Structures are given as C-alpha cells and as structure tokens.
Amino acid sequence: MNVDAPSGLSCVHADDDLLVLDKPPGLLCVPGRGPDKQDCLSTRAQALWSDALIVHRLDQPTSGLVLMARGLPMQRALSRIFAERRVHKRYQAVVAGLPQPDDTADDEGWSAIALPIAADWERRPLRVVDAQRGQPSLTRWRVLDVDRALGCTRLELEPVTGRTHQLRVHLAALGHPILGDMLYANAAQQASAPRLLLHACTLEFAHPLHGRRCSYISAAPF
C-alpha cells in the first residue's frame, strides 16, 4: 500500500502492528527544541494513528523509509531487532568525485569503510572520525552509476552499524562527500544540489510477532 495521507505523509504500509512512512527531506523525525521544530514525522503520524511510536530516525535532510510501531509492546520488539542488527537497510546517495572500489571489495562490488565515529563536542552536531574516542562503525558501499561529465557518482550504501551521521561522515572521510551536505561537504559540493542527496531506499526484516519477511522499497527521488 502506498497512500498519500491527509497530513502530508506518504504511507508505504500500515497495519495493526507497524507503519512504514516515506519521510520527505527537511522534516524532523521527532520534535526538536523550540516552537518552530514541533512539526515532525512522529507528530504527523500520531494525528492519524494515535499509538504510533518512533523506532529509529533519519537525519532531517535525509529522505526515505522510516519504520514506526503501533503501541509500546511493538516498539520494544522492533527496537530490539534494530539493536540486534536484524533490520536490513540500504540507501542511495550521489557523491562528489569518482570513488573506486578498494581491496576490500567483494565479487558484487561492495567495499567497506570501517572508521570509528565520535561526537565533535566543540562543533555540535558534527561527528568526526576519531581512533581514540570513536565507536566502531562500518559502512558497505558500491557504485551504481558514474556521471563523468558532472564528476559525481551514485552509490548504494549499507550501514552495518547505525551511528549518528554515519554515512555522511564515512563518505566525507573517503574523500567523496554527499552532494548537498551542509555539514560535511565544501561550499561547491553543497551548492551543486538543492538538498542532501541521500535516500533510505530499502527496509527488510523478519516480523517480530509471526516471523514473516517484511520488505519495503522507496525509489530515490533524485
């Protein structure tokens, strides 16, 4: 099911247990500080499903699939499978430059970025690669398409861990920031896109109640 709900939400799936919503770029997942940050995905969802609860988040400028629970027991069950890394997530991004698969690449073209990420407390909300303080972080990536004329590349991304800003930090550390990234790209790379070109395309997991495989897809809008 894919429904444009009256509140402006795009609902990919809804049942008595869970919701899968397609978040637009620029919308917070949960309320922020201040009256201008109260409009968010969870508030809009709760206007239609009063028991809707957040399970995970996307950054405000990132678009794509967000899973929500219907009620506290399901929130706990879904949060558990996220914590146990039993939710398969994939993203697409357009990055600056032409990244090349490295010696970690497998037969399907997947390379790995394994760099520890820590909060940059003096420049919050930035995150940095920090070998001493950082949490272990792993991202898998492969090339989908190359635009040599524009000097950019479309990547498929799989965050094995789920650190804040992980994909953005790892790609910037690789030397290929995501276009439109106002935190980790340079001024020219920021200006080359009208938004952060990062979209959560795929969610797959075994339903925590009955074990059936759930799979949801959202095509990247860029």
- Are 164 and 127 in contact by the 8 Å Cβ rule? The answer is yes
* Nearest Cα residue to 17 out of 43, 55, 63: 55
* Nearest Cα residue to 6 out of 39, 34, 47: 47
* Strand blocks (E) in the chain: 3-4, 10-14, 18-23, 52-54, 63-70, 88-96, 111-114, 117-119, 127-129, 138-147, 152-159, 198-206, 213-217
Active-site option among 36, 59, 130, 147 = 59
Distance CA 40, CA 131 (A): 34
Alpha helices, H only, the chain: 41-48, 72-83, 166-173, 187-191
Q: Quick check: is 59 catalytic?
A: yes
Which residues are known catalytic residues? 59
